[in-house]
Amino acid sequence: MIKKLVTFGLIFMVLFVLAPLASAQQKGLDWDNPIKIGYLNPFTGPATLTTSLDLPGVRLAIEEVNAAGGVLGRPLVVVPRDDKLNPEHALREAKDLVVNEKVFWLHGVTSSGVARAVSQYAKDQKKIYAISVAKSEKLTGEWGHRYVFRSTNNVEMENVGIAKATKEIFGPLKKIYNLSPDYEGGHAGWRTFFDSYKKLVPDAILVGEAWPKLGTQDYTPNLTAVMNSGAELMFTSFYQADALTMIKQSIALGLDGKIAMTGVWWGMYAMCQKFNKDFYPKKTIGGSTYAFWAIDTAESKRFVENIKSKFGVYPEYAVNSYAFVKAMAKAINKVGTLDTEKVITALEGAIMESPVGPVEIRACDHQAMWPSYVGLIGEVPGWDFYASRKPIVIGREAYPTCEEIAKLRKK
């Protein structure tokens, strides 16, 4: 008897739990025939952090699109896959997504090396690939093609932008020390920064440089060398945990405040959330892709609030994926059919209605003209962390022109 009661009880519970869930699915959409997004990013290993910040953007956009009637009467769904930060593995997953899952477009990827492999595959398969996090300028520059898009900004424009902001904020500092990580991106970043900085401050000179490896535990020997070099400005493109280590050690040495510091990604929320009134680098500027604490629009506030309440994170990367998925849904609805070529044409020059305002997807290289935000790190009223209070917004002037892109691709 008791057994029967328990069984009935369970059946009732299952019915009661599942029934509301089923009805929560938007009515009227063809749920048996969804439009799939093939999402690639690391779900294992240290780089999982970016995935946890990026994927919520896709999910939120899907939710809003489906609630507003979906795409061509069909719902959008995301099929996430682990790329393991490895090009070969990512390719296998991409193939499976395209061949077996029949996704309409590929989306995501953090590593530029992985993104290049996926981009090549998308080109061969004539499938749209939307890069959301990977930042090498080459992906939409010399390696770019008809099928690849990028919704975030890129390293080159960030370095051009930070050179401009450095000059504006600190004035024409002449003696520069470069302390950057010893890999291709670190070297390329420094070259871009210094070339653009020299255009603004022609008599700027390099008084010293060092290239510690990523993951160095103690930068003190480098920092004492910076302090004794007579430099007025220290440039660096170390980021996340490495940058935090470097900042702690410069504060411990009293370097911050004496020598101006410029960190390409030191304004990112992942970094700034660690800063407070007792712990932040003085006389330091940092750049970010989305300075949501300084953007005072209702749209941005609503977006931050939504991501925070639904996914428990701040929208560091999510914003780019969110804007692109919505732009894509709009483009497909406009074309009226799932024809990749027609959708690409509709996306070229389209405006992404994003939380930072309208951002154009440039037709010539499929690069979104996403801005970057650079400012002096300090108190931001209303937030419990220190970040760039009034960041300078760097826009499309920092991107290479379409002619320059065409020249790069001809090579």
Site membership for another protein, residue 82 (CB under 8 A): no
Tokens 């390696």 -> residue: 143
Residues 6+ apart with CB under 8 A from 221: none
Per-residue 3-state assignment (H helix, E strand, C coil) for 113-131 = HHHHHHHHHHHHHCCEEEE
Report, in Å, the least distance between residue 275 CB and another protein: 10
Asked if 362 and 270 touch (Cβ cutoff 8 Å), the reply is: no
Report, in Å, the least distance between residue 343 CB and another protein: 34
Q: Which phi and psi (to 5°) does residue 304 adopt?
A: -60, -45
**Contact track, another protein, 219-238, x by CB under 8 A:** -xxxxxx-xx----------
Q: Which residues of 7-42 are buried (b: 16+ CB within 10 A; e: fewer)?
A: eeeeeeeeeeeeeeeeeeeeeebeeeebbbbbbbbb
Site membership for another protein, residue 261 (CB under 8 A): no
The region of 157-165, 210-218, 288-296, 368-376 touching another protein under the rule CB under 8 A is 210-218
Residues 6+ apart with CB under 8 A from 297: 355, 357
Report, in Å, the least distance between residue 313 CB and another protein: 10
The region of 30-38, 57-65, 72-80, 212-220 touching another protein under the rule CB under 8 A is 212-220
**What gap in Å lies between CA 254 and CA 227, rounded to an integer?**
9
Site membership for another protein, residue 257 (CB under 8 A): no
Report, in Å, the least distance between residue 96 CB and another protein: 25
Closest CA to 326 of 26, 74, 59, 103: 59
Asked if 110 and 41 touch (Cβ cutoff 8 Å), the reply is: yes
Contact positions with another protein (CB under 8 A) in 173-202: 182
Contact positions with another protein (CB under 8 A) in 270-289: 274, 278-279
Site membership for another protein, residue 205 (CB under 8 A): no
Task: Tell me whether residue 221 or residue 336 sits nearer to another protein (CB atom).
Answer: 221
The region of 11-19, 105-113, 249-257, 288-296 touching another protein under the rule CB under 8 A is 249-257
Report, in Å, the least distance between residue 89 CB and another protein: 17
Contact positions with another protein (CB under 8 A) in 45-64: 46-49, 52
Amino acid letter, 236: T
Sort strands 35-41 and 76-82 into parallel, antiparallel or unpaired: parallel
Question: What residues make contact with another protein under the rule CB under 8 A?
Answer: 46-49, 52, 182, 208-218, 220-225, 227-228, 240-242, 244-245, 248-249, 252-254, 274, 278-279
